[in-house]
Chain A
Amino acid sequence: GESVGLHLPTLSVQEGDNSIINCAYSNSASDYFIWYKQESGKGPQFIIDIRSNMDKRQGQRVTVLLNKTVKHLSLQIAATQPGDSAVYFCAEYGGTSYGKLTFGQGTILTVHP
């Protein structure tokens, strides 16, 4: 059938604000989740991951929250900087699906100085 272009959600914030990017995942059997950042002209860059036996994980300026009940992930970025402007993807992995990450549609984050 005819493909329809993805209309990515967008989030605009001011420099120094905290950002929250949300993602709904599809497979209740997924046991591993990753957030990626993709800048224009580059491949996705690994930010942070979380396993399904956890509900929160913190990195440097980033926190990922996992709610398995409603199949929801969020990425929180503290003190957002202009260099954080990019497209952010969540990805899920099921242990029996070798090498296959299933990606969300992505969210465009724009940080204004």
Chain B
Amino acid sequence: KAGVTQTPRYLIKTRGQQVTLSCSPISGHRSVSWYQQTPGQGLQFLFEYFSETQRNKGNFPGRFSGRQFSNSRSEMNVSTLELGDSALYLCASSPGQGAGEQYFGPGTRLTVT
């Protein structure tokens, strides 16, 4: 089975712009979770989607949003980018039904200048 894929792998944006990141989960997995990883804060949970519904959300501002499509692929969007949004954004997929077992993609490295 193919693993979790994320596109793009690297991205450079300017403050004030917005960005959309994409994630394709493992085939058959219906849950997709997103995380932000920074040297200062470590790995922090952004949100989780299951069957196109957001079931859980972390403590991030409303500039961070996401969605999931009927094929379980997911996107996350960050609007009005700030320098502090520079991070590795990781997507993880899980069979769902609340299972914690998550498999991560390689991440998208976002740099905001």
Residues of A in contact with B (beta carbons under 8 Å apart)? 3-6, 32, 34, 36, 41-46, 49, 89, 91, 93, 95-106
Nearest 7 A/B pairs, CB to CB: A99-B48, A93-B100, A43-B104, A3-B40, A98-B55, A103-B43, A99-B33
- The residue in chain A whose Cβ has the minimal distance to the Cβ of B33 is A99
Residues of A within 8 A of B45 (CB): 99-102
User: What would 6 A/B residue contacts be, using CB atoms closer than 8 Å?
Assistant: A5-B39, A43-B105, A89-B43, A91-B100, A98-B56, A99-B33
Residues of A within 8 A of B98 (CB): 95-96, 98
Q: Is the CB of B48 within 8 A of A100?
A: yes
Q: Is the CB of A46 within 8 A of B101?
A: yes
Q: Is the CB of A45 within 8 A of B41?
A: no
Residues of B within 8 A of A49 (CB): 100-101
B58 at the interface (CB under 8 A from A): yes
Give Cα A103 to B35, complex, Å. Answer: 10
- The residue in chain B whose Cβ has the minimal distance to the Cβ of A51 is B100
Residues of A within 8 A of B92 (CB): 43, 101
**Count the A-B residue pairs with Cβ separation under 8 angstroms: how many?**
80
Partner of A103 from B42, B49, B55, B56 at Cβ < 8 Å: B42
Give Cα A34 to B34, complex, Å. Answer: 17
CB distance from A6 to the nearest CB of B (A): 6
New A-B contacts (8) at CB < 8 Å, excluding given A43-B90, A44-B104, A100-B45: A42-B107, A44-B43, A46-B102, A49-B101, A98-B31, A98-B48, A99-B32, A99-B47
